[in-house]
Amino acid sequence: MAASSPNLHALIIGIDDYSFPRTGFWPLKSAVADANNFRDWVVNELGVSPSRIRNLRNEGATRQAIIKGLQDLATKATIKQGDPILIYYAGHGSEASAPAEWHWDSPKIQMIIPWDHKPADVHGIPDRTLGQLLTDIADKKGDNITVVFDSCHSGSGTRSGDGDSRTRGGYYTGEIPAGLDKDLFSNSGTRGARVAARFRHHGLRSHVLLAACAQDEEAKEENTSGDFTRVLLKALTGVPTTEITYEDLMQRMEKLTKQTPQCEGFFRSRILFNKRVPNTKAIYDVVLGAGRVTIGAGAIHGVELETKFGLWKSRADIQSKPYATLTVNSSSTIRAYETDIPTSAVAGPMVAQMLGNPKSRLPIYVPPNIKDLDCYKTVFSTEGGRVLPPVTVVDKEALATIGLKYFEGNDPAIGFEMLNPQEAKQKIRHVVGPTADELQQAMSHLAAYYHHKDRKNPNPPIITDNSGRNGELFSSKFTLDVFILENKEGNTSKKMLVPKGPSKNIDGSGVKITVCEETRQDNYGFCIKNHTDIDVFPYLFYFDSSNFSISLISQPEVVGQSDEKHIAPLKKKSSLTIGYGSSVVTGTAQNLYIWDEANFEMGYFRLYLSTKYVDLSFMVQKEISESTRGSRPAPVSSDPSPFWDSITVPVVLERGPWVAPKHMIGIIGSKWNRKHTFLAELSKSLDQSQAPALEPFFQNAYVKEYSITVPGCQTFSLVELPGFEDPGKVDNHIAALRATLSYLTKEYQEGRRFISFIWCYNISTYLSEVDSLNLKLVVDLCGEEMFKNIVVLTTNWNKVAMVKLKGPTSRGSVVGAVPSLEKYENSEQQMMEDPRVWKPLKDGDARFERFGVFRDSANRKRNPATAGVKDPLDLLKSMLNNAPGALQAQKEASTTRIVTETTVGKTLSTRIEEKIKKKADDIQKLEKELKTMNEDHKYWADVQREKKDAAEDIVRWKQMLKEIGRVNSVFM
């Protein structure tokens, strides 16, 4: 054991118990478990006293308690300058619009969500507040602060949260007040507009941040753990904390397919905890022999070639510098539980501690009944010239990727069990015999499978713009689409394979396939899109987790005998198809099937991208129960070039019935155009028909979806999409459009189609700028092919029928009604004849319908202007016979994945560019005005502030344009 407990102080927070009605966030399943596991690691591996750890769980993790816990770290007398401080949080994260008064560097601000969060009362804790609290800690206690956040900040929503996987994030429905936490800044010595640097900001000097995912990604959790915490603890276990940097730790972590953990901060290349926390690794006895030492640690403990040991005279000396160091070399003998190392430089009694291994290895859990087998003891020994398997045996299932199982009986065998929570439903249908050779081969096979599946470029290339700034990951500039293929006759009357429907991997999160009689014969093709200015060589593999095989789907054809003669088939700014079309790469359409006795299987498409031709065929290996090629180490010369990267696409095959996609009706309208009145009346109609009242089965901050079942009619969904409101709030328009495109594209991928699209317009008002923006939004979303399914719903016609048309006249009755009737009908007619937008809609067979709320239905029927007004439910029923189709925006977004390459995105970006130009003109006018003033002029400060705000708007809007111009910008 270590001589003394390290003076590390920790605040560890975990929240599962979110109540959706109260907080607006779904409950989580494993954030508390993650916090407990992280606490156990701090206590057991680092030897930290529990008295130095403050634990906040569920109802104990209120907003006030979290802030108080952070404040106490800055004031606690037992924490000395430079002592390591560790802050861990597992729970929901979100984002909201930053108040303009904060002059934030982005229109959005991220936050963590406390247990007692209430949208209109108790707010999240934003980055701005966290940044100030961490700055206060650093000012008083030093910058040896490590922050670990297993949450996401993208504000992404989930459909239900009832499945095995959940997202630790959600949409923030409240509005952040400008004065939030202002008391925390009152003593900071700075004005409110110039407070501490942003919490999640590269280059921070107050702390190092380990975050679960990138800012636009989702942090996932399974039933037992968060994905990030799981791989982080696996990477930390057994690691010498005084010898590894934060950046090294990130490289040791197992790769996650749906999120990219981040390491941020000025000191990210620093040794963990600034070398002040040696972990309490096992101490082994040393036996001295003639010209050698025998250390009581062997292959089962992770010993391999190049493992380094430190030797001390006694256990009490462990904290000091080692008396000597020894490295396991080719002359050493490694056995299962001990290692002989030749040396003559050591004398006297000794103890040893493992200082480090050359690389991380596949963690495997082996139960005691297999450890007792002779084959196991033989495999973990170098006696007789045997090579150790490239794995690390761990004692806990939670720290392993895969486990072994022993099947007794007349024909005993060793099987395999998936321990990664993401693959826990995967059953392995292969076993190996309990012999040393078969076990050795199986271990090597597994190690090769996971090595190639998870390996990544330790220095991923960055693509920059012409200025050399604004870098993006090379891999982020490529997309891999997966299509179901169908036979169609070509120009030569010969049948050819072509894509059927949208990509199954539209948002890059993976491919999900329901396997049934209708889909079992489906063939799949691929399309790789290159958004860079570089020609590349693509290599596509399939990794099958049901049998640990690796299959080569496609690679470039060899066309020459030297590097100069190889021609990159994937050209810059172009695409390449595999399995269909005319391709210059080898590859055929693929059939994804499922084992007859299985209901669930998982696999991975893995795309390698290299700027030079290499031979990657050595990666191919058969099923684990067969003789494999994957058991030998990969040739160094066959690695991709230094300028390479990879993309991983998970594949889930699940047996189940085929379900026809539900049809959808969309509805858009600004808050003054009576859209919500229409929905309220629809809810009343549903009550009268004894159908369920109108309650959304899916909603986030922008989109609500209602499932409507009416007796005698098909079930359909009514989708309430966000319209534009204030024409000056560009930030909100971008957020609304991205949310709309993200939702529409994902639903398109699921095969769902629109049978109608409603735009609401208040006939009693003049066509405003907001109305025009929303009308153009609907037109751009739908496209000309869907004009026939658009319904222009003019509302507020009940105003015409508010007065009786017969009986005694009085001032303001019939006399007032006639002008209103003429006005509304004239307005409607002028709309239909307007050549800009309305007439094209009418010519495209769009329907014009009227809506109003009438207390007396007889009054509605007597008035010729309102006699044709339909009940909301009847109106929707009349749309059910429309032919379903895809919106223009769905097809464009799923193809390009870029907001600004869709018609609706181009319209918005043009409007933003016009606003930027206007702001620039305003600045010039303000500068001229300032030249006519002295600084003591009573309006000088106001003009100066207006100029500054305009300049900040330009910077922010330009950044937004860049963000929506990136690949995958259509997804939130």
pLDDT band with cut points at 50, 70 and 90 for residue 784: very high
pLDDT confidence of residue 635:
33
Q: Is it the case that residue 162 has pLDDT exceeding 90?
A: no
Place of tokens 């045997």: 386
Instruction: Report helix, strand or coil for 335.
Output: coil
pLDDT band with cut points at 50, 70 and 90 for residue 106: low
**Mind listing the pLDDT tens digit for each residue in 921-937?**
999 999 998 888 888 88
Q: Is it the case that residue 349 has pLDDT exceeding 70?
A: yes
Beta bridge partners of 726: none
pLDDT confidence of residue 807:
43
Among the ranges given (241-255, 573-587, 695-709), the one the predictor scored with the smallest mean pLDDT: 573-587
pLDDT confidence of residue 381:
85
Among the ranges given (110-124, 141-155, 941-955), the one the predictor scored with the smallest mean pLDDT: 141-155
Distances (CA, A) of 782 to 380, 576, 786, 879: 64, 29, 5, 16
**Mind listing the pLDDT tens digit for each residue in 143-155?**
999 999 999 864 3
**Mind listing the pLDDT tens digit for each residue in 198-233?**
444 333 578 899 999 877 678 888 878 899 999 999
Other Cβ atoms less than 10 A from the Cβ of 385: the count is: 5
pLDDT band with cut points at 50, 70 and 90 for residue 582: low
Q: Is it the case that residue 186 has pLDDT exceeding 80?
A: no
CA distance linking residue 261 with residue 431, whole number of Å: 34
What residues contact residue 467 under an 8 Å CB cut-off, 6+ apart? none
Distances (CA, A) of 530 to 308, 479, 556: 44, 7, 15
pLDDT band with cut points at 50, 70 and 90 for residue 664: very high
pLDDT band with cut points at 50, 70 and 90 for residue 346: confident
CA distance linking residue 406 with residue 855, whole number of Å: 75
**Mind listing the pLDDT tens digit for each residue in 812-865?**
344 444 456 677 777 777 777 777 667 788 888 899 898 888 776 666 666 666
Q: Is it the case that residue 417 has pLDDT exceeding 80?
A: yes
162 token code pair: 């009832």
**Mind listing the pLDDT tens digit for each residue in 444-488?**
899 889 888 887 776 788 887 665 556 788 888 999 999 999 887
Q: Considering the entire predicted model, what is its pTM?
A: 0.69
Residue pair 88/229 in contact (Cβ under 8 Å)? The answer is no
CA torsion sign, 964 to 969 to 971 to 972? negative
878 token code pair: 């009349």
pLDDT confidence of residue 801:
57
Q: Is it the case that residue 191 has pLDDT exceeding 90?
A: no
Among the ranges given (349-358, 446-455, 831-840, 955-964), the one the predictor scored with the smallest mean pLDDT: 831-840
Q: Kindly report the average pLDDT of the chain as a whole number.
A: 82
pLDDT confidence of residue 800:
66
Q: Is it the case that residue 19 has pLDDT exceeding 70?
A: yes
Q: Is it the case that residue 904 has pLDDT exceeding 70?
A: yes
pLDDT confidence of residue 78:
93
What is 175-192 written as a DSSP string? ---TTTTHHHHTTSSS-G
pLDDT confidence of residue 369:
93
DSSP letter assigned to residue 139:
H
pLDDT confidence of residue 857:
64
Residue pair 493/543 in contact (Cβ under 8 Å)? The answer is no
pLDDT confidence of residue 688:
62
**Mind listing the pLDDT tens digit for each residue in 487-545?**
876 555 556 788 888 888 877 778 988 888 778 888 999 999 999 999 999 999 999 99
Instruction: Report helix, strand or coil for 590.
Output: strand
The residue-averaged pLDDT of 586-614 equals 84
Beta bridge partners of 540: 554, 607
796 token code pair: 């507020």
CA distance linking residue 770 with residue 775, whole number of Å: 9
**Mind listing the pLDDT tens digit for each residue in 736-762?**
899 899 999 988 888 889 999 999 999
Place of tokens 């987790």: 545
Beta bridge partners of 54: 11
What is 807-831 written as a DSSP string? SS--TTSHHHHHHHHHHHHHHHHHH
What is 898-915 written as a DSSP string? -GGGSHHHHHHHHHHHHH
The residue-averaged pLDDT of 63-91 equals 95
Phi-psi region of 601 (alpha: psi -120 to 50; beta: other; left: phi over 0): beta
Among the ranges given (263-267, 553-557, 835-839), the one the predictor scored with the smallest mean pLDDT: 835-839
pLDDT confidence of residue 137:
94
**Mind listing the pLDDT tens digit for each residue in 602-643?**
999 999 998 888 778 778 888 988 743 222 333 333 445 556
pLDDT confidence of residue 660:
58
pLDDT confidence of residue 421:
82
What is 713-761 written as a DSSP string? S--EEEEE------TT-HHHHHHHHHHHHHHHHHHHHTT-EEEEEEEEE
pLDDT band with cut points at 50, 70 and 90 for residue 564: low
Most confident of 55-69, 127-141, 253-267, 422-436: 55-69
Query: Dihedral through CA 684, CA 689, CA 693, CA 697, nearest 10?
Result: -130
CA torsion sign, 159 to 161 to 167 to 170? positive
**Mind listing the pLDDT tens digit for each residue in 719-735?**
999 999 888 888 889 98
Place of tokens 């560790």: 86
The residue-averaged pLDDT of 320-346 equals 87
The alpha carbon of residue 904 and the mean position of all alpha carbons in its chain are separated, in whole angstroms, by: 24
